Amino acid sequence: MPSKANLMSTYALLVFIWATTPLAIVWSVSDIHLMWALVLRFFIALPLALGLIYVLKVHLPFDRISLRSYLAGAASFIGSQIFTYMATRYLSSGMIALMFGLAPIMAGLIGRFAFQQQLHRLQWLGMTISVSGLAIICFTGSQQHVHPIGILLMLLSVFIYALSMFWVKKVNAPINPIAQATGSILVSSIVAACLIPFIWQYVPTHIPQVKSILALLYTVIMASLIAMFCYFKLVQNLQPTTISLTTVMTPILAMLIGALLNQEMLSLMVFVGAGILLLGLFIYFYRDLKASRELALKLKRSK
């Protein structure tokens, strides 16, 4: 099992990448049809991932349990990202990151109703507060950066993402994280190829702007490769709700990045709603954070 410091650095890197990826996605579709940007993302990522597998001499198994794990991982890749890319028409990059902050709640609800995991009163209270914050965002956001259709698309994206975490954990295949990510990218690329007949009419006929190309490469290298290696490494070593906590840390950072680099000006009430949503998430995780702190103090005293 990786050391605590190793897992913490992996966690921090994942937070940074997920805070910057929404803006990269928005920029990548600014000069390319959104579905083509998604397809190209996986087509470029696949040979890079296979090359990395070859250089590092990592075994890529194709037994039944491994294939199931790849399929489960692909759900958080292309399954979730299809709806995220569709949402770029309606939401700012900061709002997309904020919606992914709901992943812990989705994970909690899936755990409660699909796996009979118990939720405490504080968790239900936190969910209620977060949903209230989301309602404020939906009904008071400017049409330029907040739209109910975009909110719905992101809810579907976050649900599939959270479901994928449980699915990968349930399959529990003994696979190297790099192999898991590569196999999931392979499955995602196959699904992306199946999309081409439906989007052929939108095939790029010109060389995209430099900003779009660089953003596309960022989503390939950072979000589809490095972040997913980190993600599957954490999935194999941490609980799904703990992993989901990464998405609580990213929204405000992502909203600031969007405002600074993409002039995404949001209304005061959107920030109020975002604050209420994040407060609900803090309450949702309060017991876990308190328990972790007490455990850390006990370990410190025992030394």
CA distances from 275 to 87, 112, 272, 282, 287 (A): 22, 26, 5, 10, 20
Look at residues 6, 14, 3 and name the one whose alpha carbon lies nearest to residue 225.
14
Domain boundaries, the chain: 4-119+145-263
pLDDT digits (tens, 9 = 90+) for 119-134: 888 889 988 998 898 8
CB-based contacts of 48: which residues, under 8 Å, 6+ apart?
220, 221, 225
Q: What is the pLDDT of residue 69?
A: 95
Q: What value, to the nearest 5°, has the Cα angle with vertex 228 and ends 104 and 154?
A: 45
- Inform me whether the pLDDT recorded for 144 exceeds 60: no
pLDDT of 142 higher than 70: no
Q: Are 79 and 185 in contact (CB under 8 A)?
A: no
Q: Give the integer Cα–Cα distance in Å for 91 and 41.
A: 20
Q: Is the pLDDT of residue 244 over 70?
A: no
- Per-residue pLDDT band at 218 (split at 50, 70, 90): very high
The Cα 74–Cα 191 span in angstroms is: 9
| Tens digits of residue pLDDT in 149-179 | 999 999 999 999 989 988 988 898 989 888 9
Residue for token pair 């994040």? 278
**For residues 181 and 83, what is the distance between their CA atoms, to the nearest angstrom?**
20
Report pTM: 0.85
Which tens digit of pLDDT belongs to each residue from 69-116?
A: 999 999 988 999 999 999 999 988 888 888 887 887 888 888 888 877
Please write the tens of the pLDDT for every residue from 173-184: 989 888 998 999
